[in-house]
Amino acid sequence: MPHRIIANEADLIDLGRLLGNLTLPITVEWVQGRDRTSEQNKLQWLWANEAAMQLGDRTGAELQRDWKLRFGVPILREASPEFRATYDKHIRPLPYQEKVAFMDMIDVTSAMKVRQMVAFLDAVQRECLEQGLHLTDPSPDLAAYQKRYRQKEAA
């Protein structure tokens, strides 16, 4: 499905122009928020590899799949009735290890919006700190960006 991110008034005007030139009828659908950033994605993989090296019992990819199941799935189940219904029907009844294996086949973090990814990264960071693991701090720009989204959530 075609999509556009509307981040400012010029984007909104361009969208209006595009829609105005389409043959009617059309169906328009939107989602509040923006897709998670590439910086957030890079940070989750950096942390997965750092944590895996310190734990020594799994690879970064294995740890990331586990985080997607334990932290990401609950975030998406809460936010999306469609995701919840599909997950609950096809994956929830499976044993834990099979659920983890499915994390490579379904969109979890890649389906998240920025605010959801902030919650995901916060949960990962909290668990790693509780386990005494050392993680690289996010870049100052990403940390400030995530802080803004965290503050919007609290408001």
Instruction: Tell me the per-residue pLDDT of 60-71, one tens digit each, with 9 for 90 and over.
Output: 999 999 999 999
Quote the DSSP letter at residue 113.
Answer: B
How many CA atoms, within 13 angstroms, populate the side-chain half-sphere of residue 59? 3
93: pLDDT strictly greater than 70: yes
Write down the pLDDT at residue 35: 61
Percentage of the chain lying above the pLDDT 70 cut: 90
The Cα 124–Cα 75 span in angstroms is: 13
Alpha helices in the chain (DSSP H): 9-20, 38-55, 60-67, 73-79, 81-90, 96-102, 114-130, 140-154
Instruction: Tell me the per-residue pLDDT of 107-150, one tens digit each, with 9 for 90 and over.
Output: 999 899 888 999 999 999 999 999 999 999 888 888 887 888 78
Task: Tell me the whole-structure pTM to 2 decimals.
Answer: 0.76
90: pLDDT strictly greater than 90: yes
Average pLDDT over residues 84-98: 96
Residue 39, judged by CB atoms within 10 A of its CB (0-12, 13-18, 19+), counts as middle
The total number of residues written for the chain in this structure: 155
